[in-house]
Amino acid sequence: MIRILFTAFVLASPIPAGLFAAEPLKIATFAVDASPPIGSPLAYDPTKEVLIPLSCRGVVLIGNGKPVVLCAVDWIGIGNDGNLLFRMHLAKAAGTTADRVAVHTLHQHDAPDYDFAATRMLKRYGVSGHRYDNDRFGRDVIERAAKAVAAAVKVAKPVTHVGLGEGKIEKVASNRRILGPDGKVKHMRYTAARDPKIRAFPAGTIDPMLKMISFYNGERRLAVLTYYATHPQSYYRTGKANPDFPGIARNARQTATGVVHVHFNGAGGNIGAGKWNDGSPENRQILADRVAAGMKRASESTKKTPVAASDLGWETVKVTLPPAPHLDEKKLTATLEDKKANAATKTAAARDLYWLRRCKAKDKVIIGCLKLKAARVLHMPGELFVEYQLAAQKLRPDLFVAMAAYGDYAPGYIGTEIAYSQGGYETSPRASRVAPGVEAVLMGAVKKLLK
């Protein structure tokens, strides 16, 4: 009788407004210094000094289901087990799983390259002083980032609105591959092009738009994520660690707005600033200012939409990438065993051999997709060509589609199928560790995730 009366009372009583309101989306931000110690290897030279601190930063998004962690690091690359180690530690700290963590680099060249698997292999062959000889430093950054994530999650803030915007960036991106009348690469326009005749060619195929996702609590912006496709080099081989022009632009906008900025490099494998950059040191700030101006335009164009925990989604497709035909296990092993081979040659052999063995073992690469209202962000491996980004946007013109590349760095450059028959550096055996069939594999995954 008491239970019946209580039920009747509840049914007859007015329900307070907001009692059954949707659970809020929450966001936590984290950042730690990722600058190498003096003497530690950068991608090409030992560290002489830290010109501008490097950072490891990101966000944890907490909605329905386990949290999603998005992390961007001012290093040239994080590949193989190094990427996995990063994701596992951040996942544990955030209370999620490694497949719900995306770790990307911005690909600066006066910055470290982290590949724990290659390091381990090189040690077995007695090789030291190579570009991956930074495991203690790398693990320290990972551990500090994990602690920062754990602390940030405890004070995660509710998000009431998500904002989507984009801004055009002028005179920064240009295609590095200039084709001749026969459809083959005639000129390579690298990130610094000193020949005015090379700079004079049209910009070519690029994506000039910087995309921005903003998170709000009421009118207050809590954090923004930005995406733009280009190699980030103005000049390098200085021994002075720095985040180059995209990192300088990101830092400037964060200082100007007081809002946390996390920047991701899009599919910029065949894109650089070469048309607009002759390598002069003063161009670094000029390029940074142009990127910052694009960020400002994206901010001003942003449109807000209410958001709830149920609006956050994360889906993955696991794929096996086809190894490049030039990779030969016996030859790579012989190089590592050759006492006359130098450290640089053995370092490349170890990197290539471990990747080849991963491919043969059908080790899967995770392609992730963040879903947030009308936004879709694809999280991709390697130095991806911009055509992948443009194709993804064309697949869903009704959505806000962005791309973060430079995830697992192990595959190296990833061209389109036709690019492998055109020549050029990016699809050469020196640069790419995947076969032309990679396009069908990756675009199949993209189509599934954007369906």
How confident is the model over 323-364, as pLDDT tens digits? 999 999 999 999 999 999 999 999 999 999 999 999 999 999
**Span 172-179, average pLDDT:** 98
Provide the pLDDT confidence category of residue 7 given band limits of 50, 70 and 90: very low
Q: What is the spatial order of strands in the sheet that 220-228 belongs to? A: 260-265, 220-228, 209-217, 161-168, 303-306
20 lies in some domain: no
Please report, as a single letter, which amino acid is at residue 9: F
Task: For residue 81, give the H/E element and its range.
Answer: helix 81-94
Provide the pLDDT confidence category of residue 21 given band limits of 50, 70 and 90: low
393 lies in some domain: yes
CB 231 within 8 A of CB 271: yes
CA 436, chain centre distance (Å) = 22
**Span 32-55, average pLDDT:** 97
391 lies in some domain: yes
Residue 20, pLDDT score? 47
How confident is the model over 243-282, as pLDDT tens digits? 999 999 999 999 999 999 999 999 999 999 999 999 999 9
Domain total for the chain? 1
Q: Is 235 left (phi over 0), alpha (psi -120 to 50) or beta?
A: beta
Residue 128, pLDDT score? 86
Half-sphere exposure of 234 (CA within 13 A, CB side): 22
How does the average pLDDT of the chain come out, rounded? 95
Q: What is the pTM of this model?
A: 0.94
Query: In a 3-state reduction of DSSP, which class is residue 310?
Result: helix
Longest dimension (CA), the chain: 92
Is the confidence at residue 319, as pLDDT, over 60?
yes
Is the confidence at residue 434, as pLDDT, over 70?
yes
Provide the domain limits for residue 377: 25-325+349-450
Q: How far is CA 190 from CA 187, 238, 301, 386, in A?
A: 9, 17, 32, 15
Q: What is the DSSP string of 243-305?
A: -HHHHHHHHHHHHHH-SEEEEEE-S-TTEESGGG--S-TTHHHHHHHHHHHHHHHHHHT-EEE
How confident is the model over 210-244, as pLDDT tens digits? 999 999 999 999 999 999 999 999 999 999 999 99
215 lies in some domain: yes
Least confident of 29-33, 69-73, 183-187, 341-345: 341-345
Is the confidence at residue 9, as pLDDT, over 60?
no
How confident is the model over 387-397, as pLDDT tens digits? 999 999 999 99
210 lies in some domain: yes
438 lies in some domain: yes
286 lies in some domain: yes
Give me the sign of the Cα torsion angle 173, 197, 426, 448: positive
How confident is the model over 129-169, as pLDDT tens digits? 889 999 999 999 999 999 999 999 999 999 999 999 999 99
Least confident of 15-24, 100-109, 160-169, 352-361: 15-24
Least confident of 1-5, 144-148, 302-306, 398-402: 1-5
Residue 10, pLDDT score? 38
Q: Are strands 365-372 and 375-379 parallel, antiparallel or unpaired?
A: antiparallel
Residues, the chain: 451
Residue 22, pLDDT score? 77
61 lies in some domain: yes
Is the confidence at residue 8, as pLDDT, over 80?
no
Is the confidence at residue 369, as pLDDT, over 50?
yes
Residue 82, pLDDT score? 96
What are the helix (H) ranges across 101-159?
A: 116-124, 135-154
Q: Are strands 383-384 and 365-372 parallel, antiparallel or unpaired?
A: unpaired
